[in-house]
Structure 1
Amino acid sequence: MKHITLLYPEGQCNLSTIACIVGTVEIFSRAEALWQQRGNKKKYRLEIACIVPHKKCVSHFVALTPDICINNIAKTDLIIIPSAMPGEDTADSREMFDWIHSQYKAGAEIASMCSGAFILASTGIMDGRSCSTHWSFEDRFRSLFPKVNLHSGKLITDENGIYTNGGAYSFLNLVIYLIEKYYDRQTAILCSKIFQIELERNSQSAFAIFTGQKQHNDEIVQQAQTYIENNIEEKISIENLSSRFSVGRRNFDRRFIKATGNTPVEYAQRVKIESAKKALESTRKTINEVMYAVGYSDVKAFREVFKKITGLSPLEYKNKYNREASVLQ
């Protein structure tokens, strides 16, 4: 029988942490029960592990008592890190990072949920590897962990025994993914039906709200960002934009990428598509009207960029998020 460790990272928890823990325990418990009902032997034992062995209250109405202290776990097969933002770098947190790192070196696999990716990245294991987290933490994550290959649009990454997932309650999709890995496809399908969790969802891009990285000190880039955002209807030439600020194109691109994490072209596309998304969500405008309003004249190009950024076509997005549009279908 193999062992799963579900971490309870003291000092870094909130209600999302508890939601991840409770949901994971419930679904894995059902998976184990379904597995044994088919005549199989018990496959996994799951324990909630903490750093300090005592009850911790997350808020005035929620408390959780872990099963075991990490110091008492000599070997585990899978470590699950729930949603949790890193707090101060204390002796306890460093002990947790070291324990995760040593277990991974000993052969354990690791899965992080939502902002639990910050804890995983703090171990140093993720340098040079693919990772996902909640789209709203993208800028902060990139600034803290520049060596990690962040894919903020992906719902789940799977690389060399490390699994990460996107934001909030999408941790449920990761749990189903892990159940298929650790049990089998049949058990995963049954769990997805029982708990009504969509199978094989692979993107969180449609949920993202693009605001642009503004926490930098490059005044020229900030002015360029403002120009792009205030002139959505224009078909912006990056050559003209760089010359407007008396900066060479190559230097302008380099500065823009360093400051925002996007090329000027990517930034303009994301600003335009964010405006298009809002129009599709809340107005009766046709796809073509929205397209022209954000500076596109080629339907194919607009559709390709829109789908690249959101994972959906403009029509699919409108039908999904505009109630009036879906009623009129």
Structure 2
Amino acid sequence: MAATIKPVVALLAPPEATASTLYGLFDLFSSAGRDWNAVMHGRPGESRLAPVIVSRDGRGFRAGNGAWIEPDAALSECPRPQAVCIPDLMVAPDEPLSGRYLTELAWLRHCHSQGALLAAACTGALLLAEANLLTNRDATTHWAYCDALAKRHPEIRVHANRALVATGDGERIIMAGGGTSWLDLALFLVARLLDTEEAMHLARLYLIDWHREGQQPFAALTASRQVEDAVIGKCQIWAAQHYDTHAPVAEMIQLSGLTERSFKRRFKSATGMTPIEYVHTLRLEEAKLLLETTDTPIEAIAGDVGYEDPSFFRQLFMRRVALTPGQYRRRFRTMRLAMQ
């Protein structure tokens, strides 16, 4: 009987890679198919994935925290991967990255062109941006890096309040936000590469709790740093907390102390969006979260996020997301339920 070919998951290890996330991903992928049987039936199964740690030259190196990382192969020696994972990087939010990872970026573009899934944990998304793989696409990264990413790459739609984003053709580019949301990323990939049952096994085995709350509570801490205009920054913080009010733009104008014309001009200059576009973005992101995590009727969700007319909410959602609220719920609610 022919041996089953396991999907190869390449874990990219740049010099600034964080060892905990890198080896945590390696452990979870290695566990798929193996450890649930060991716990439930007393005998380990066979790993269903083949994780391999790769680096530019395949040589061992010290990570930023001093831990030793020993890659399995150089990029040129890596078997063709079905998925590539980038762990978080120990770099400062505004640290220049241009010209720093040319070999890795070329390899990522090649893997993507060959049909591989690309996944990034936390600040690993910065490499996807540098590789020009996120142009005109949705993205997320660690909440403390979202404003820097948006400023460096204004062509990317950065969602600071989302813990997981899947984007691109066939949703083959996946990003997790900050902290332990790399666990969400691993479960999502296991479900994509294998099946949701295996992802559920890992979630139960390792007591992994899906990050339903997203990053918004943490992103709010840095909202005032999103723009250099302090007045507009103050209005952004207010909008993040009061987007569901009846007339949020009028409230922000009053809060700013500016004339309506001056406020709208400065807001667009600072954020790249008109005030109402900004409010719609906040409302729709909250609506997405409610659609993914609750059974609340769509009409009630429309009201909860600030829309008195459910039909307008549906039309706006369809125009912005390219799915109806019902289609969005059916597509993403299943994944949420699978991780409970």
The match for 2:148 among 140, 150, 156 is 140
1:107-155 CA distance string (max 9 Å, x none): 1110011111101111011112221111221110101111112222222
After TM superposition, give the deviation of residue 158 of structure 1 in Å.
Answer: 1.8
The match for 2:84 among 79, 87, 95 is 79
Correspondence for 1:164: 175
Confirm or deny: 8 A CA contact 1:85 1:116 kept in the other structure.
Answer: no
In the alignment, is residue 127 of structure 1 matched against residue 128 of structure 2? no
- Measure, in 1, the Cα distance between the counterparts of 2:65 and 2:237: 43
Give the counterpart letter for 2:199 in structure 1. Answer: A
What is the SS of the residue equivalent to 2:112?
helix
Structure 1 gaps, min length 5: 271-299, 306-329
Correspondence for 1:104: 112
Cα RMSD (Å): 3.8
TM-score (norm 1): 0.67
- Counting matched residue pairs gives 265
After TM superposition, give the deviation of residue 8 of structure 1 in Å.
Answer: 0.4
Correspondence for 2:61: 56
What is the SS of the residue equivalent to 1:97?
helix
Give the counterpart letter for 2:23 in structure 1. Answer: V
Give the counterpart letter for 2:113 in structure 1. Answer: K
In the alignment, is residue 194 of structure 1 matched against residue 194 of structure 2? no
**Matching of residues 288-303 of structure 1 within 5 Å:** none
In the alignment, is residue 95 of structure 1 matched against residue 103 of structure 2? yes
- Measure, in 2, the Cα distance between the counterparts of 1:3 and 1:202: 31
After TM superposition, give the deviation of residue 103 of structure 1 in Å.
Answer: 1.1
**Matching of residues 236-251 of structure 1 within 5 Å:** 237-238=250-251, 241=254, 244-246=257-259, 248=261
Correspondence for 2:25: 24
- Measure, in 1, the Cα distance between the counterparts of 2:208 and 2:226: 36
Correspondence for 2:13: 8
- Measure, in 2, the Cα distance between the counterparts of 1:84 and 1:187: 28
- Measure, in 2, the Cα distance between the counterparts of 1:162 and 1:239: 35
After TM superposition, give the deviation of residue 59 of structure 1 in Å.
Answer: 4.8
Give the counterpart letter for 1:140 in structure 2. Answer: A
Give the counterpart letter for 1:76 in structure 2. Answer: P
1:170-200 CA distance string (max 9 Å, x none): 1111111111111222211111111100247
Confirm or deny: 8 A CA contact 1:3 1:45 kept in the other structure.
Answer: yes
Correspondence for 1:182: 193
Q: 1:150 to 1:225 in 2, by over 3 A?
A: closer
Correspondence for 1:279: none
Give the counterpart letter for 2:189 in structure 1. Answer: L
After TM superposition, give the deviation of residue 57 of structure 1 in Å.
Answer: 0.9
Confirm or deny: 8 A CA contact 2:32 2:49 kept in the other structure.
Answer: no
Confirm or deny: 8 A CA contact 1:34 1:187 kept in the other structure.
Answer: no
What is the SS of the residue equivalent to 1:135?
coil
- Could you tell me the percent identity over the aligned residues? 22
After TM superposition, give the deviation of residue 222 of structure 1 in Å.
Answer: 2.9
What is the SS of the residue equivalent to 2:63?
strand
Confirm or deny: 8 A CA contact 1:4 1:45 kept in the other structure.
Answer: yes
After TM superposition, give the deviation of residue 264 of structure 1 in Å.
Answer: 4.8
Q: 1:150 to 1:33 in 2, by over 3 A?
A: same
TM-score (norm 2): 0.65
Give the counterpart letter for 1:156 in structure 2. Answer: L
Give the counterpart letter for 1:167 in structure 2. Answer: G
Confirm or deny: 8 A CA contact 1:139 1:213 kept in the other structure.
Answer: no
After TM superposition, give the deviation of residue 47 of structure 1 in Å.
Answer: 0.5
Q: 1:88 to 1:304 in 2, by over 3 A?
A: closer
Structure 2 gaps, min length 5: 283-300, 307-340
